[in-house]
Amino acid sequence: IVVFVFTSCAKAPAQMMDSAKAAIQGVVDAKGGVYAKDELNKLNGDLQAAMDEVTAQSKKFFKKFGPAKEMLTKLIAAADAVTALIPGRIAEAKSAADMAVNEAKATLEEAKALLEKAPKGKGTKADIEAMKADLAGLEAAMADVQSAVAAEDYFGAKDKAMVIKEKAAAIVEQINAAIAKVKG
C-alpha cells in the first residue's frame, strides 16, 4: 500500500518545466534566434521530448518522472551554456562586420581616387559619368550598412558591405583596364 501511494501520487515536475522554459526564453532574449539558431532548435526539441515524457508518465498508473526530471535538468544546464556562448558570437559577428565595412570603405576610396586619374577622352566621358553615379550609389549604400551596424544587425551589415566592396572592386578593375589601354 505504501509503495502504491508514493508511486501513484508522484507529481509532474511542473516547476522544472517552468524553469526549462524560462531558460530557453533567456536564450531567445539574448538573441539566440540570431546567434545560436541550431542550439536553440535543439533546446526546443529537447524541451518537447521532456514534455512528451512527462505527458506519457502522467497517463501511467505507476508514474516515474525521474527520466523527465533528468532531461529537464540537462536542458536547463544546456540553455545556460548556450546563453553564455552568445556574447562571444555577437562580438565575432561585430568584428567581422567591422572588418567588412572597413574593407568596403577602403575599396570605395580606392575607386574614387582612381576615377580622378581615369583617362578622359572623347569616348570615355559617358563611362566616367556612369562610374561616378555607381560610386555615389555605393556611398549611399554605405549609409545603410552603418544603420545595420547601429541596429546590431551584424550579419546583414557584413553582407551589404561585401556587396559594396565587390561592386567598388569591379569599378577599380574597369578603371585600371582603361588606364592600361591608354598606356598601351
Mean pLDDT of the chain: 86
Structure confidence at residue 184 (pLDDT): 60
DSSP 11: P
Mean pLDDT of 124-137: 83
* Amino acid at residue number 100: A
In the block, residue with C-alpha cell 531558460: 23
Sequence-distant (6+) residues with CB within 8 A of 90 are 31, 35, 152, 154
Q: d(Cα 170, Cα 76) in Å, to the nearest integer?
A: 50
Closest among 106, 119, 102 to 168, alpha carbons compared: 106
Mind listing the pLDDT tens digit for each residue in 75-99?
999 999 999 999 999 999 999 999 9
Region class of 120: left (phi > 0), else alpha (psi between -120 and 50), else beta: beta
Structure confidence at residue 179 (pLDDT): 77
Q: d(Cα 75, Cα 70) in Å, to the nearest integer?
A: 9
What pTM value is reported for the model? Answer: 0.74
Least confident piece of the model among 29-38, 45-54, 70-79, 172-181 = 172-181
The answer to whether residue 101 scores a pLDDT higher than 90 is yes
Closest among 20, 16, 15, 33 to 80, alpha carbons compared: 20
Structure confidence at residue 93 (pLDDT): 93
